[in-house]
């Protein structure tokens, strides 16, 4: 087993623990391997786990890719959430279906693999407790690319049982970098003027994304712009 594979297996083992509402230990099925959870013909590449819905059981979020590649040598990405149902681990969310309702966003997180004009990858996968309520949200950075780099999409999704909701969505025009700073996100990307070539935006923007207690929502709290040749 690779170092990365061992790390994923340890993360799954940690997820297979939980307590009842009264604090007593809850008996869960044996910890599964990441490979046994993802669909046939896929291999896991990233994993995070946490109690997403406050029921005392840590759900497992796995990004995986198909082992087979398309005519361009690219793999199909998947993003799934697993939880215990009827004493066994089961998939409760699949990002290849309809996007979770909520914030204004595209109808799909991950486009069907037969849409050959675009390719995607799950570039970032994190859990962030924006509101500090002990129920973290899933943060996914989904990169789009074709002949050149396309938008980097930022999705923030919450889980309540088998129901998912989109709390925040943002996308750059082309590429970008997404990072976590405590209970906030840092999203940096190029800002293109009308005549800017694809390689060279005139400006860079840095957004701070976090919880706004006034609106009880996740939103852009601050945005700064500066010349692309400079820095913040």
Q: Report the percent of the chain where pLDDT is more than 90.
A: 63
- pTM of the shown model: 0.86
Measured distance CA(129)–CA(132) in Å, rounded:
5
Measured distance CA(205)–CA(176) in Å, rounded:
10
The predicted-structure confidence for 142-183, as pLDDT tens digits, reads as follows: 999 876 778 999 999 999 988 999 999 999 999 999 999 999
The predicted-structure confidence for 177-199, as pLDDT tens digits, reads as follows: 999 999 999 999 999 888 888 78
Domain locations in the chain?
A: 3-227
What is the band of 25 on the pLDDT scale with cuts at 50, 70, 90?
Answer: very low
């Amino acid at each position: 087993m690779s170092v990365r594979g061992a790390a994923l297996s340890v993360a799954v083992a940690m997820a297979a623990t939980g307590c009842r509402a009264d604090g007593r230990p809850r008996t869960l099925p044996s910890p599964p391997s990441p490979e046994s959870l993802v669909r046939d013909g896929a291999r896991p590449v990233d994993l995070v786990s946490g109690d997403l819905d406050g029921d005392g059981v840590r759900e497992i979020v796995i990004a995986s890719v198909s082992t087979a590649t398309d005519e361009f040598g690219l793999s199909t990405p998947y993003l799934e959430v697993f939880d215990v149902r009827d004493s066994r681990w089961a998939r409760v969310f699949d990002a290849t279906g309809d996007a979770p309702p909520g914030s204004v966003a595209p109808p799909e997180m991950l486009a069907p693999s037969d849409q050959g004009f675009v390719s995607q990858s799950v570039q970032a996968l994190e859990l962030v407790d924006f509101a500090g309520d002990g129920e973290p949200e899933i943060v996914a950075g989904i990169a789009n690319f074709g002949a050149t780099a396309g938008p980097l999409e930022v999705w923030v999704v919450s889980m309540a049982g088998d129901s998912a909701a989109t709390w925040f969505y943002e996308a750059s025009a082309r590429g970008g970098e997404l990072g976590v700073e405590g209970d906030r996100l840092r999203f940096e990307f190029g800002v293109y003027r009308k005549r800017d070539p694809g390689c060279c935006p005139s400006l860079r923007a840095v957004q701070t994304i976090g919880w706004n207690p006034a609106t009880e929502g996740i939103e852009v709290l601050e945005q700064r712009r500066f010349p692309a040749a400079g820095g913040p």
